[in-house]
Amino acid sequence: MKRVKLVVAYDGTNYRGWQVQPNGITVEEVLNRELSALLSEQIVVTGASRTDSGVHSLGNVAVFDTETRMPAEKISFAVNRRLPEDIVVQDSCEVSLDWHPRYQGSRKTYEYRILNHTFRQPTRRLDTYFYHHPLDVEKMQQAAVCLEGEHDFRSFCSIHTQAENFVRTIYACKVERAGNVIVIRVTGSGFLYNMVRIIAGTLIRVGSGALAPEQIEIILNACDRSAAGPTAPAHGLTMIGIEYE
């Protein structure tokens, strides 16, 4: 028996998220099916991040246990020949049998991308959220800095979050514009359900002038979901990757 670690990139447009669900096809389901067929045994992968329906990834991490004699580093090449074009295993390697992608110390990075332009751009419709009103990136950045550090993020997670502890550490939260695209890049120790999308929705309200940057601290202290901005749409969000200690 050995444990294999995968780094998985995917376009989440056609999937009901990462985790296997009864109401639609998911990334995890496709990986389980194709790895099982490839290795001629029942494979069940465990992912580091259960991304939502429509969310993309450049580097989600998963593991599975296998009896195969195929070298771990060859599995990525073999399974990519079977996977659909919107899921690609970027790397595969063997790890110790006690290594788990959710229980190691790590830093996760997400990007939320906003197409801030008068008109839509057809080629960016799947990976950016179109917002045509002007946004003040400088004010968004001032607000983003207030989110850095260790805080109770109860105001910035879904009311359906099943967490005992709402304290998380944000190592960096940056907002930058590149042409017509505004990128919100957040790196943290971990994230609550919908946390990055709610951060994005709140920063958009700051950029539009509906909130002042200094109100972020008030929102954090409220520990109340209704104090923050809306949950930004899923398709603007991409998991960039995970760095393990």
State the Cα–Cα distance between residues 28 and 143, nearest whole angstrom: 35
Sequence length of the chain is: 245
Q: Which of 52, 65, 136, 152 is catalytic?
A: 52
Both tokens of 130, joined, read 């179109």
State the Cα–Cα distance between residues 79 and 81, nearest whole angstrom: 5
State the Cα–Cα distance between residues 48 and 71, nearest whole angstrom: 22
Examine the residue annotation and report whether 52 is marked as an active-site residue of this protein: yes
65 in Cβ contact with 118 (< 8 Å)? no
Concatenate the DSSP letters of all residues of 1-56 into one string: -EEEEEEEEE-GGGSS-SS-BTTB--HHHHHHHHHHHHHTS----EES--PPTT-E
Residues annotated as catalytic are 52
